[in-house]
Amino acid sequence: MSLQPLKQVASTLYTAAVQWRNRRFDRGVGISQIDRPVISVGNLSMGGTGKTPMVRWIVEHLSTMGVVPAVVTRGYGARPGQEADEVLEYRDALPNMPIFIGGDRVGVLRRDLPSHPEVDCIVMDDGFQHRRLHRDLDLVLVSAHESLESCAVLPAGRLREPPGNLQRADAIIVTGSRVIDGALAARIESLNGLPPVAWCGHAWSSLTLIEAESVRDVDIDWLHRKRVVVRLGIGSPETVRSQLRVLGATIAGERPVRDHQPFGQAEAAFLTEVLDADAILMTAKDWVKARDVIDLRQLQVPIVIPQLELRFLEGEAALGQLIHDAVVDHENMDLSDTVE
């Protein structure tokens, strides 16, 4: 028996609860403000829009402005006593940046921010639905590969809330794009009131080749005519598979995993048995969890990690201006009007 009718009923109930919650926040109920500007990066769907690379870009842009940024994140998917994959990625890429972690973003910042007086701005990772924290700039990422016409709200589909809720975003950024799609731009403008402020894609700039005795960077063409086994614990694994095909690689096998899935001994044992391939490919998000579990001396083939780079097709300067204005406007804000 199909579960879709039950999912549709559950989706209707879930949507009603989401909209009731949003109406409360729209009235200003339960929103708290801190004494730093907050830039939120979020999305409508369950993962796969490239929030982590965008957060890194914003952090680096703030640094070029002379602003000292920090990230606040929920730390989704972390095992007890361990850190989430996104947190580990941030620590690797931005080792000197403070990271505040916890589901209660307001409580975490009130507790920990006073010990970091050098921080001038907070970037909130995955913040569109976390409305308790006031934000000075609300950015929402929409994947170029996901339709806003046919997607349903959880659990019938992948959306966390209806597409019409894009109206509350300050700006929309289309990610994973190779061209500027006029139809998608028109659809976003009909929902948000403005066309996307920027269009960007994710490109592999290089590969990190990891073996028992060495770690080195190689050109992405290294994958040409290579047979690879993949482990893709990310929201949109098809984008990686597609890129492998473009580069002329053959996927010889795959370890099926869900988004954010922890890396255990069973997977490590599986990868040590990979023989009929030239490499094991996983994303940086996978590797930060796997590196403490895998004994590289036991592997028969190297591990390859694509290094992801954000590239703008359009709107980089406009997005930078929005970020600049949010920081400046906050400095001129009367914080006596803070809502608790």
Task: Residue 208: give its domain's CATH number.
Answer: 3.40.50
CB-CB contact of 15 with 9 (8 Å): no
Are 304 and 319 in a shared domain? no
Judged by phi (left if over 0) then psi (alpha if -120 to 50, else beta), residue 158 lies in alpha
The phi and psi torsions of 187 (rounded to 5 degrees) equal -65, -45
Host domain of residue 245: 204-308
Are 43 and 82 in a shared domain? yes
pLDDT at residue 1, rounded to an integer: 54
pLDDT at residue 262, rounded to an integer: 87
Express each pLDDT in 82-141 by its tens digit.
888 889 999 999 999 999 999 999 999 999 999 999 999 999 999 999 999 999 999 999
Are 59 and 141 in a shared domain? yes
Are 160 and 299 in a shared domain? no
Are 76 and 188 in a shared domain? yes
pLDDT at residue 238, rounded to an integer: 87
Are 264 and 122 in a shared domain? no
> Taking the CB of residue 171, how many other CB atoms lie within 10 A of it?
19
How many distinct structural domains can be found in the chain? 2
Are 48 and 178 in a shared domain? yes
Distances (CA, A) of 148 to 73, 153, 239, 283: 26, 11, 18, 27
SS3 156: coil
**For the chain, how many residues are written?**
340
Are 26 and 145 in a shared domain? yes
Are 210 and 332 in a shared domain? no
Tokens of 249: 């690689």
Are 180 and 83 in a shared domain? yes
CB-CB contact of 326 with 137 (8 Å): yes
CA dihedral 110, 66, 50, 325 (to 10 degrees): 80
pLDDT at residue 6, rounded to an integer: 85
pLDDT at residue 338, rounded to an integer: 44
pLDDT at residue 340, rounded to an integer: 38
Are 184 and 262 in a shared domain? no
CATH number at residue 329: 3.40.50.300
Integer Cα distance of 139 and 153 in angstroms:
20
The strand ranges marked E within 99-166 are: 99-101, 121-125, 137-143
Are 145 and 50 in a shared domain? yes
SS3 263: coil
Q: Which residues of the chain have pLDDT under 70?
A: 1-2, 150, 334-340
pLDDT at residue 77, rounded to an integer: 74
pLDDT at residue 334, rounded to an integer: 59
Q: Which amino acid is at 195?
A: P
